[in-house]
Amino acid sequence: MTDFPARHARLAAALPLADALLLVAAGEPLKLPENSDQTYPFRAHSEYFYLTGLECPHGVVAHDPREGAWHSFVPAVTEDERIWEGRTQPPGESLEGLTPWLAARQGRRIALLGAALPGVSADPELSATVRAHFTHARRPKDAAELATLRRSATATAAGYAALRAALRPGVTERALQVELEAGFFRHGANRTGYGSIVALGANAAVLHFTPGGRVAQPGDFVLVDAGGEIDRYVTDVTRTYVVGQPTGFQRDLYQVVLNAQQRACVRCRPGAEWRDIHLACAVDLTAGLVEMGVMRGDPASLVEQEAHTLFFPHGLGHMVGLGVRDASGLLPGRPKDPRPCLRTLRMDLPLAEGYLVTVEPGLYFIPALLNDPARRQRFRDCVNWSLAEQHLGIGGVRIEDNLVITRGEPENLTAAIPKDF
């Protein structure tokens, strides 16, 4: 059971409102363009959902720091909504009460979070500052959130087991996706946490690939990045398999990524800087490529030169929870690191107890990177280009788990999903 008063109290203490008012809006349904009486599935803004647990279109939470109270204003459910959608009246005060509530506090600055709220004149700079602190305050997951996330991880593990049972030559990416997602739903997931990635062969080098009709062939890499969602809380996992028996090169590449991922997981402790974990993992991956003969030089020096981005072009991971990249970003007040090799980091902050992060290193043979003339010139002495060219169609390997940061070793919520190759 979620303790919403405790959340409100924690946020009230964390937000730099001074004498300003806080409004958090759920948002409103968006109509489908080709059908005037239906909408896209409504999802309240995560900041609103965090405060209320409600999927309430047009809902608004209001807070006056002078009084300390939190008000949830909700619209009246119409007869048509009851008949056509089966909706019931959500708890809260009438939305009509928001206007007099604001009128009684006229002249005070307003911080607006969540969705846009027509007719409200909010302070953009204050809103941005308050949002950064709101995000930071909810980064540690509470007991109710972790309980839901464990259920989501269990459903996700069932989906991966179903996919693996169906994996054989002749099966399509789309058929594997169906087995995967059916497994999620059969074990309690409400929906998928994001668009599932099931990529065969060369498609495994496309970072955000959409499954299609490609047929599995013996020797194909199979990269699967997907997760179930329960009550808005998401699991985000990646596993890489091979159809049939792997080649020696595939086995070595997989082992390099697995070793680097395991070492990165061990480094996830309170106080550790995420950028440092990312860069250390980049060195581990690069050292593995040097040992395989794909890259040439000292691993740390190659990372300093950013040569590793040819094969590891993304960040190590991000936060996950109420959405697939929940509460990622920067520590309040910290500027974005200007180094090009860190521009893809989805978060830059020290880890703390209660954070839930993904750890997802990968190595890929991406034609758009490896065939780029400027990169080939810049890194001409860093790569065994003939060997890299031989494997341009191999795809790639990524391995991803979800870790809860604790006082000691991190807790791996997705450890039940095997990584055996």
Q: Looking at residue 376, which CATH number applies to its domain?
A: 3.90.230.10
* Secondary structure (3-state) at 238: strand
| pLDDT (0 to 100) of residue 421 | 80
pLDDT per residue, tens digit, the chain (421 aa), is: 899 999 999 999 999 999 999 999 999 999 898 767 888 999 999 999 999 999 999 999 999 999 999 999 999 999 999 999 899 999 999 999 999 999 999 999 999 999 999 989 999 999 999 999 999 999 999 999 999 999 999 999 999 999 999 999 999 999 999 999 999 999 999 999 999 999 999 999 999 999 999 999 999 999 999 999 999 999 999 999 999 999 999 999 999 999 999 999 999 999 999 999 999 999 999 999 999 999 999 999 999 999 999 999 999 999 999 999 999 999 988 998 888 889 889 999 999 999 999 999 999 999 999 999 999 999 999 999 999 999 999 999 999 999 999 999 999 999 999 998 8
Query: Looking at the structure, do residues 38 and 76 belong to the same domain, yes or no?
Result: yes
| pLDDT (0 to 100) of residue 112 | 98
- The rounded distance, in Å, linking the Cα atoms of 16 and 126 is 9
Last residue in a domain, options 110, 137, 164: 137
- The rounded distance, in Å, linking the Cα atoms of 419 and 383 is 29
| pLDDT (0 to 100) of residue 38 | 85
Query: Looking at the structure, do residues 63 and 89 belong to the same domain, yes or no?
Result: yes
User: Looking at the 3D structure of the chain, how many domains does it have?
Assistant: 2
- What domain range is 239 assigned to? 143-412
- The rounded distance, in Å, linking the Cα atoms of 129 and 142 is 23
Query: Looking at the structure, do residues 247 and 370 belong to the same domain, yes or no?
Result: yes
| pLDDT (0 to 100) of residue 34 | 78
Query: Looking at the structure, do residues 266 and 344 belong to the same domain, yes or no?
Result: yes
Q: Looking at residue 82, which CATH number applies to its domain?
A: 3.40.350.10
- The rounded distance, in Å, linking the Cα atoms of 418 and 414 is 9
Last residue in a domain, options 118, 137, 156: 137
Structure tokens at 96: 């009509």
User: Secondary structure of the chain: what % helix, strand, coil (to 5)?
Assistant: 40, 20, 45
| pLDDT (0 to 100) of residue 198 | 99
Query: Looking at the structure, do residues 194 and 266 belong to the same domain, yes or no?
Result: yes
Last residue in a domain, options 137, 166, 200: 137
Query: Looking at the structure, do residues 200 and 321 belong to the same domain, yes or no?
Result: yes
Residue 420 included in any domain: no
> Sheet holding 21-25: strands in order across?
93-94, 70-74, 60-63, 21-25, 110-114
Query: Looking at the structure, do residues 111 and 174 belong to the same domain, yes or no?
Result: no
| pLDDT (0 to 100) of residue 224 | 99
Query: Looking at the structure, do residues 356 and 231 belong to the same domain, yes or no?
Result: yes
Residue (of 154, 405, 360) closest to 267 by Cα position: 405
Query: Looking at the structure, do residues 202 and 348 belong to the same domain, yes or no?
Result: yes
